[in-house]
A = this chain, B = another copy of it.
Amino acid sequence: MKQNIYDNPIFFNQYKALRQKQYNYNRLLEQPTMKSLLPPLANLQILDIGCGMGEFANYCIDHHAKHVTALDVSSNMLAIAKQEHSHPQIDYQLQAIEDYEVASNSFDCITSSLSLHYVKDFDAVIRQIAQKLRPNGIFIFSVEHPIATARHTLDDNWIYDENNNRLHYAVDHYQEEGLREQTWLVDGVVKYHRTIATMVNTLITHGLTIEKIVEPIPGKEAIQQLPSIEKELRRPSFLFIKAKK
């Protein structure tokens, strides 16, 4: 990982504004899906990779997790996390997962919301995660869906007619894994595209068993609150994988 667009001040202010909206993809789609996949949290030792502003770490503590180690590479993010969601059972650390040193078998549950598509060396990160997880521990992550990251130009892959109606979603270069640049809030946001096969097989190679794959579908209520989210029915934005050690 170590790309740190979240410490770019222009990006960060726009990102904060987006996240503060009452209805956004995080609140209506990503977080509900993540929470639906969690095991009962009581007494668990949790590692959250890419913890951002700490809402999820806080949610875990609210649901009786024993302790959350919350990593992020952005000091901007962590400053807000510490301000808004400080708690004696949450340990915020300015760390990339690749550099984070901790004994093997330390965690009952490892989570990562929309951060592993910033990681260049997915195999190395999954190896680390598999090692840090206790036997029978659970790993759940979400990334941008490979359908959405495939094309070289990620800026807007919807194709429109002359009246600005969405005709279809454009996919290309699916098998060319690697770097994609995107203008998202600012220029030059860097993500890494990889195929579903690569992600699933990397987990299996490192000894994890696939428990569930989710390509989240917004419910009726979410569509009422944010009508534009209905386009998730036409192509998925997110991919979740839940696996067990």
Contact = CB atoms under 8 A, between A and B. Distances in A.
A55 interface: no
B172 A170 contact: no
A186 interface: no
Contacts of A234: 171-175
A1 interface: no
B168 A170 contact: yes
A169 interface: yes
Chain A interface size, as a band, is 20 to 34
A123 interface: no
Contacts of A235: 150, 171-172, 174
21 contacts: A147-B171, A150-B235, A151-B168, A159-B168, A167-B170, A169-B170, A169-B171, A170-B170, A171-B171, A172-B235, A174-B236, A175-B215, A176-B233, A196-B196, A197-B212, A197-B213, A197-B215, A200-B200, A201-B212, A201-B213, A209-B210
Interface of A: 147, 150-151, 159, 167-176, 195-197, 200-201, 204, 209-215, 217, 232-236
